[in-house]
Structure 1
């Protein structure tokens, strides 16, 4: 039995607690499910006969699946609605994980990983559209920052649950945790109320149907300006996940110590998302977006000068803090600039640009580390962060995001 359509509350009567379970519950479970299986995928690929480079490629298929499916995700969401897309993404991810568990062929295992990545694109887009429509504009940054933060919490908890399952039942048990997580997200998502379509005012004609091509044409200025900043932000964020363990290895720290540093940086990352969202709602997007990149850039430039556990930890904590205050930033900026009509197409392109940055950042780091040095690659990533800060400072409107949205209709 479906719930009645959801009508966004006014700012005066709205509270994030009202929508906590239906809005953030699926994100927590989806992140938990994926977090449980991600550390296991390269190990299972190796067990199926993959070489080390091939195992790395299998892991990369998750990101590739998300990248390639952003535009189809917008079509799926427009066709089935946000709730239908959330449910479909959970089922498709669960099916992909089940394929990984049940097959003994590397090619089918890789196909399952690709399916998991494809589901990411559909799920993330549907969640972003739903929150953009259902939450009053004055609460938008807090809602989307919390959405990103809750997903990170799930990704943080998932590996620990997966490790417990592996200890009790064996390597494949981690996929059981993953399947339970994504199917749980689909079950909660199935009870999310549908969004009401605003009625067309009397005397106005229905807007013309949008396409990907018309969206690119009509909003090319945003994509070529602020969108470029989003690409740079995503490149820096994705590179940070590689920078910390690689530099810890360069310093000859034990793997357990490197994991501790990475985990503490992730803990800082998870603690600051809601205050940052509140600042964005009250002071404007620039107040968080620009400092986020400046802090990460300074920490990246400092990291090659670290020489041991203590200094590496401080640099890593700074990176985690800078990334954490930027939680939901890309989603919020996309929501602010997305049109009411054709929003799915716009956000599909927006997420595609973000994923392009996420894919290119680590590749550039690897190229510079191989051709010059790891220190040069990390320093270049820091400079990219400063370039991102400059682009965001210049192109983010001076008004608050919610003021801009009201003015643009």
Structure 2
């Protein structure tokens, strides 16, 4: 009997206070940091290229700690792993807010990225253990939706905080969100009682996971790398282009916030589509429209025109709400979710870290406009890869 035939009652309410609300709080802080860290770097004297590199340090931190995060999840379980990640996120956000120079800021953002990796792997692992395959799109899309609501609110909150109290306040939003999330996870998260292996060896676990699931990583993984590259490239292009146009911090916050507003309307319907028709129905349109939006960013010349393009990019991003987490959970073997998801996130986060580095590199040797066009073109190619090479994962079964 398949997973779909043995589906449990819908589990969304189960995760309300333990997963979705903390995710929202963390995402609000993250949205504020992502919107204003490049401006904080510029305020500390960093060049345009160095500011982009500092932004990229978060993605690099996520990627470097993905595999250790997966092993930590397998060893300690979701609750302990999530609590550790929240504490580290809050602490290093405070360091970032009061950084005396770009070097300290970059290191703090790198550490925040590492803590974020542990947070994301733990949340996906918990739901992967609990949600049947025909509900996974909806449960994962609600995590994606919580992130997107935070991405909408965070930049706007951060923008007004920055105007009223300085750029440090925009970065401190992350610390306040982490403090509230810590309370919710500690009080409400319950996990399955199971014996966890405390004698794992990193090289052996990684090698075994790659050997057993190499085909998935080489097909679907490549498509997800491209999706993440375009998404993260978009995150750095929009605020830097807004800065090039001379927009104020509050205007920049509104552009980025409204660019995420359509995500809040799409995430649950997208989850239904993924559960009913398949994961590709989400991924291919998302990558296509993200690519188109970045191709036309350089042709904007005002707050109004950049806002329109931002709305298109937000709509496109919303179409992919939860897709990477859902596909990873589909592919993860039962009983070894942590190890698989750690490697899965490491591979896909090559795009997370590579996107900002790509933008920074092209902007340094050429122009930001060319960087946007190149990133958009990669998005179009990624849509073709997803449509033609990646298998549909909705009805696949995996041995425990």
TM-score class, shorter-chain normalisation, is 0.7 to 0.9
> What are the within-5 Å matches in structure 2 for residues 136-147 of structure 1?
136-147=132-143
- Report the equivalent of 1:97: 93
Give 1:130 deviation, angstroms: 0.7
- TM-score, scaled relative to structure 2: 0.83
1:65 to 55, 61, 65: 61
Q: How does 1:74-223 map onto structure 2 within 5 Å?
A: 74-100=70-96, 110-162=106-158, 172-174=168-170, 176-190=172-186, 191-197=188-194, 211-223=205-217
- Shift in alpha-carbon separation, 1:248–1:346, aligned structure 2, 3 A: same
Partner of 1:361: 355
> Do structure 1's residue 229 and structure 2's residue 223 form an aligned pair?
yes
2:372 is paired with a residue whose SS is helix
Contact 2:149 2:260 in 1 (8 A): no
| Partner SS for 2:77 | helix
CA RMSD for the aligned pairs? Answer: 3.3
Q: What are the superposed Cα offsets for residues 104-130 of structure 1, whole Å, 9 maximum, x if unpaired?
A: 677655543332221101001001101
Deviates more, 1:120-129 or 1:161-170: 161-170
Match of 2:283 in 1: 289
Q: CA deviation at 1:175?
A: 5.4
Distance 1:336 1:305, change over 3 A: same
TM-score normalised over the length of structure 1:
0.81
Aligned mate of 1:316, from 301, 310, 319: 310
Counterpart Cα distance in 1 of 2:375 and 2:30? 27
For 2:80 and 2:272, locate their aligned partners in 1 and report how far apart those are by CA, in whole Å. Answer: 30
5+ residue gaps, structure 2, are 1-5
Q: Distance in 1 between matches of 2:304 and 2:160?
A: 30
Q: Max radius of gyration: which structure?
A: 1
How far did residue 368 of structure 1 move? 4.2
Structure 1 window deviating more from structure 2 (142-151 vs 290-299): it is 290-299
Shift of the 408–396 alpha-carbon distance from structure 1 to 2, 3 Å rule, reads farther
Structure 1 position 363, deviation (Å): 3.0
Paired residues of 2:52 and 2:236 also in contact (CA < 8 A): no
CA deviation vs aligned residue, 1:100-159 (integer Å, no higher than 9, x gap)? 467767765554333222110100100110111122221101111110120222233234
Instruction: Give the counterpart of 2:262 among 265, 268, 272.
Output: 268
1:33 aligns with 2:45: no
Alignment partners' CA distance in 1, 2:106 and 2:399:
44
Q: Is the 8 A contact 1:35 1:159 kept in 2?
A: yes
* Residue in structure 2 matched with residue 338 of structure 1 by the alignment: 332
| Consecutive unaligned residues in structure 1, runs of 5 or more | 1-9, 200-207
